[in-house]
Amino acid sequence: MSKQTQYVSKSINDKGYIEWTAEENQRWARLYERQINLLQGRACEQYMRGIELLNMPKDQIPQLPDIDKVLMEATGWQTAAVPALINFTEFFTLLANKRFPVATFIRSEEEFDYLQEPDVFHEIFGHCPLLTNPAFAHFTHVYGQLGLAANKEDRAFLARLYWFTVEFGLVQTEQGLRIYGGGILSSPGETLYALESEKPQRKPLKALDVLRTPYRIDIMQPIYFILDSFDGLFELSQLDIMSLVEQAKSLGLFEPQFEPKLKQAS
């Protein structure tokens, strides 16, 4: 999380609001319209219900106090405005205190289709709707508590659990396979790829397997893990995750299903 970024988060005024430019609001509107249409019949019903509850504006970037009001009433969560990138300790501390970090910048026009670091669209559109759901909110809270207490080595294993659930999770429903991971929900390319491409593997979610599965942040995922129901997040949060981390460390990681990232010449 603590790598270089070209983005600078915007400051918040004494009322908790951000002065977004007309251009930034227009970019949000385009991102919102494109993605909300694509998610019909692809996002899980819990996410779509969260979209209705938040009732976020379609033509301008939502203000965090407005999001907070809904989240607090629904699950006791709030957002927390943060710099473009934060370290793991701050990340886990926020989650452990039921505060979801939101980087207060929006992607540039050059990175309209894809960017690696999470921007305000990814955080608010991708994640906040599901924070209105008790199962998702509880799992995220427990995850934050575990991460805050973990050492550096264990956090690397926990990061895989977050990646394959909160960011890139799929869930089986009566209507078929649906998306709940925010990294997919905020990405048009990955939305179609995760559900409809024949290239990736799709496996039932077993916590030990997830903890042992490597990933890369800059490619379409070669593997997705599937919850058998959305309430499976509650069941996952009740497991002895740290005991499973110890097992994963003993067994070692699976062979990566992707090519290693090429190092840039210095």
**Positions marked catalytic:** 122, 127, 167, 186
State the number of CA atoms in the 13 A half-sphere of 71 facing the CB: 23
H-only helix segments in 88-178: 88-96, 120-121, 134-149, 152-162
Distance, CA of 185 to CA of 240 (rounded, Å): 29
Alpha-carbon distance values, 125 to 32, 157, 201 (Å): 8, 26, 26
CA distance 203 to 227: 9
- Residue 224, classed as helix, strand or coil, is strand
Of 201, 207, 69, 193, which is closest to residue 128 (Cα–Cα)? 69
Q: Which residues contact 262 (CB under 8 A, 6 or more apart)?
A: none
State the residue for tokens 């979801």.
Answer: 100
C-alpha–C-alpha distance, residues 9 and 7, integer Å: 7
Residue 43 DSSP code? B
